[in-house]
Amino acid sequence: MLGYYIVYSDHVTTRMDNSLLVTTKKFLELKNLNESVNLNDAAETLNVPKRRLYDITNVLEGIDLVEKIGKNSIRWKTNDGDGRLLEALQFEFKLVREDPTYKPYGYLQLQDLQSLDIFSNQTLIAVKSFPEVQPFIEVADPSKTGKFQIKVRTDNYSPLRAFLCPSYARTHSSIEEILSTG
């Protein structure tokens, strides 16, 4: 196993240790050590089945962060722009959303989003729903409708809250507050 220096302590393995999120985080640590990763060596280093690493690398390949360079090896792509960062965040968000262990810790700070160049000088609208409720966002094409429209709803019509987050502000305002004062 050449090039891998990650050592994990010998503690009792729990279900959380084997979650896809934890395994993905450990796998991503290998990026800093080497530009290419042999999946056989990585599976042995991380003490996980190779199938688990295939699941991770298939998603990473799908979002164009890695490329296969052989039967059991991948190479990290070098262009890490904001688009790639956003895709990686979306991937990790999906993992957090699917892993019940991390549900209480699933949040994002406004400053984290505003620090991305892709959102500079943009007004963000954050939508908050009850746990286990999936909001659907529909954006009408302004070139067809002549106006900019956003529809946000849920399947069961449960209440949603929306917050306006201008790029120049470090805080947010409830849209209800803005509508009632404007």
- Domain boundary among the residues 107, 129, 158 is at 107
Q: Tell me what pLDDT residue 35 has.
A: 75
Write out pLDDT tens, residues 120-161.
788 888 888 887 788 888 888 778 888 888 888 888 888 888
Token reading at 71: 């039967």
Give me the mean pLDDT over the 3-28 stretch: 60
For the entire predicted model, the pTM comes to 0.39
Is 115 found in the same domain as 99? no
Is 99 found in the same domain as 156? no
Is 114 found in the same domain as 101? no
Can you give the residue range of the structural domain that contains 3?
A: 1-107
- Domain boundary among the residues 49, 81, 107 is at 107
State yes or no: pLDDT of 15 exceeds 80: no
| Residue 175 identity | I
129 closest CA partner among 163, 98, 102, 177: 163
Is 43 found in the same domain as 7? yes
Is 62 found in the same domain as 4? yes
Is 140 found in the same domain as 91? no
For residues 117 and 30, what is the distance between their CA atoms, to the nearest angstrom?
Answer: 26
Is 79 found in the same domain as 65? yes
State yes or no: pLDDT of 9 exceeds 50: no
Is 97 found in the same domain as 13? yes
More confident residue, 72 or 131: 72
Angle between helices 20-33 and 82-98 (to 10 degrees): 150
For residues 23 and 17, what is the distance between their CA atoms, to the nearest angstrom?
Answer: 7
Measured from the Cβ of residue 42, the count of other Cβ atoms closer than 10 Å reads 24
Write out pLDDT tens, residues 73-126.
998 876 555 566 777 878 887 877 788 887 777 677 777 777 887 777 888 888
Is 74 found in the same domain as 131? no
Is 124 found in the same domain as 76? no
Is 161 found in the same domain as 89? no
State yes or no: pLDDT of 6 exceeds 70: no
pLDDT bucket at 39, cuts 50 / 70 / 90: very high
Is 74 found in the same domain as 154? no
In angstroms, the Cα distances linking 55 to 61, 73, 95, 177 are 10, 14, 12, 45
Q: Is the Cβ–Cβ distance between 32 and 67 less than 8 Å?
A: no
